[in-house]
Amino acid sequence: MRILHVIATLDPAAGGPIEGVRTLFGYKDEGYEGEAVTFDAPDAPYLQGLPFPVYPLGPRTSTYGYNAKLLPWLRENRDRYDGVIVNGLWQYTGLATMLAMRGHKPYMVFSHGMLDPYFKRRFPLKHLKKAVYWYPAEYWILRNAYRVLFTTTSEEKLAEESFAFWKWKAQVVPYGIRAPQTDPTADIAAFLRVVPAVEGKRFLIYLSRIHPKKGCDLLLQAFASIAASAPDLHLVMAGPDETDWIPELQKIVDNAGLTDRVHWPGILRGSEKWGAFRAAEAFILPSHQENFGIAVAEALGAGKPVLLSDKVNIGDMIRNEGCALIEPDTLEGTRLLLERWIGLSAEEKQRMSTAAAECFRTRFNMLETAQAIMALFQQAKNEGAS
C-alpha cells in the first residue's frame, strides 16, 4: 500500500514524529510503501541518501509554513497514493491536504500530542492565536479526516479538553520504534567516543530536546539535591538546544559543583544514540507534557528501565509492567524518581531491565503501527470513503 506522509520537515533534530515517520518507511517489505512531501530545502543534508522517496518543496519561510507549491503538488499526485497522513497540526500542511484530498482520497491526521491541554495552560496567548485558527480551519481539517490518530487513550481523552467545540473520528493506534538491529558493543564504543568522560561510570541518560516543556531544569535541580548520596552517579543530557537554554541550565550545574558529572553531547544519532541507551543505567524524562515519548520506547527497546513524570502519557500503558518509576512533574517528584532509583538493589534494577525488554517486545514494535495504518486505509477503500 502506497502512503504519502505530509510533514513540515524530516530533520531528525525536530523530534519524535520525524523518527516515527522514518521508522514506518522501513517496512516496505511488509507492504508499507511510504513517501514524504516536506517543506525542506532540496539540498538539506539530512535528506541525502534516504532509502525512500522525498519531495522537498521548501525551504520553509514561516512557522505556519505556507507554501504555494504544496496544494498543486498534492492535487497532481494524489491518485498515486492509497491514502495520505498529515503529521501534526497548526500548519499549512493540514489545510492543503484537506483541500486537495476531500472528495478524492482519504486522509488521516497524526496529532502527535498537539491537542494536549498542557499548551492551553502553559501558553495562554499562543492558545488564543490557535483558537483563531481552530474554528475556520483546524476544526474542519480534523472533522473531514477519515481518522485522527492518537498513540494512547490518555492522549485521545486529553485532546477533547483543548477546545469547546470539536468533532472527529478518533483512532488509537500502537506506536513505537523498530527494535535496534546494531551490535551493542559497537554502539557503546561509538557513544563513548562522544562522551569519553562516562567510560566506566554509572550514569542516567536524558535524551530529548533541551526545552522547558521537558523539565530539564527540574532534573538538574533534583540531581543536585541527591548528588551527595550517589557520588559516583553521572547524568548525560543529550539533545538539541532549540531555545539556547543550556547556558542558563549550566549555571545550575556549576553552582552545585557538578560540572564534571553532567555532560552535554548534543544530538545523538544511530549507534551513538543506541550506545547511550545501552550503557546507561536507566532513562529519565521528567516532562511536563508528552503525548507518547518516542525515546521512552527506544529505552525500552534497549532493555533499560524508564524514570518518568506522570505527564508522559505512555506511562499509563506501562505503569504496571515492572519497568518504570513514575512520579509527578514537580521538583519533589523528580527528586523522588532519583531517590527511588538509587535505593533499588542490583537485583531489583536487573528485574526492571528484563521487564523493559519484554514490555517493548509486546507493546512497542512499530510494525504494528504500519499494519494498523494500512488496515485503516483498506477499510476506507472498502467503505468508498474520500
Top CATH class of 2-175+366-383 equals alpha beta
Taking the C-alpha atoms of residue 38 and residue 148, their distance in angstroms, rounded to an integer, is 20
Average pLDDT over residues 345-371: 89
Residue 275 makes CB contacts below 8 A (sequence gap 6+) with: 186, 187, 188, 189, 190, 191, 192
- 8 A C-beta contact, residue 133 and residue 114: no
> Looking at residue 180, what is its pLDDT?
78
- 8 A C-beta contact, residue 209 and residue 240: yes
Please report which helix (H) or strand (E) contains residue 34, including its range.
Answer: strand 33-38
Q: What is the pLDDT of residues 297-339, one digit of tens each?
A: 899 999 999 999 999 988 888 988 999 999 999 999 999 999 9
> Looking at residue 222, what is its pLDDT?
98
Statement: residue 117 has pLDDT above 80: no
Q: Quick one: cell of 339?
A: 531517590
Q: Quick one: cell of 229?
A: 548520596
Q: How many CB atoms lie within 10 A of CB 344?
A: 16
Statement: residue 16 has pLDDT above 70: no
> Looking at residue 125, what is its pLDDT?
74
Taking the C-alpha atoms of residue 315 and residue 136, their distance in angstroms, rounded to an integer, is 34
Domain extent listing, the chain: 2-175+366-383, 184-363
Q: What is the pLDDT of residues 125-148, one digit of tens each?
A: 777 778 777 888 898 999 999 999
Buried b (16+ CB within 10 A) or exposed e, 98-135: bebbeeebbbbbbbbbbbbebbbeeeeeebeebeebbe
Terminal-to-terminal C-alpha distance of the chain: 16
> Looking at residue 163, what is its pLDDT?
78
Q: What is the pLDDT of residues 169-214, one digit of tens each?
A: 999 887 777 777 789 999 999 999 999 999 999 999 999 999 999 9
Domain 2-175+366-383 and domain 184-363, same fold? Reply is yes
Taking the C-alpha atoms of residue 44 and residue 254, their distance in angstroms, rounded to an integer, is 37
Tell me which amino acid residue 319 is. R
> Looking at residue 13, what is its pLDDT?
75
Q: What is the largest CA-CA distance in the chain?
A: 65
Q: How many CB atoms lie within 10 A of CB 347?
A: 8
Q: What is the pLDDT of residues 39-72, one digit of tens each?
A: 999 999 999 988 899 999 988 777 788 899 999 9
C-alpha pair distances (Å), 86 with each of 110, 146, 382: 6, 11, 21
Which CATH architecture describes the domain 184-363? 3-Layer(aba) Sandwich (3.40)
- 8 A C-beta contact, residue 191 and residue 279: yes
Statement: residue 263 has pLDDT above 80: yes
The conformational region for residue 322 under phi > 0 = left, psi -120 to 50 = alpha, else beta, is left
> Looking at residue 184, what is its pLDDT?
94
State CA 207 to chain mean position distance: 11
Three-state secondary structure call for residue 51: coil
Q: What pTM value is reported for the model?
A: 0.68
118 falls in which pLDDT band (50, 70, 90)? low
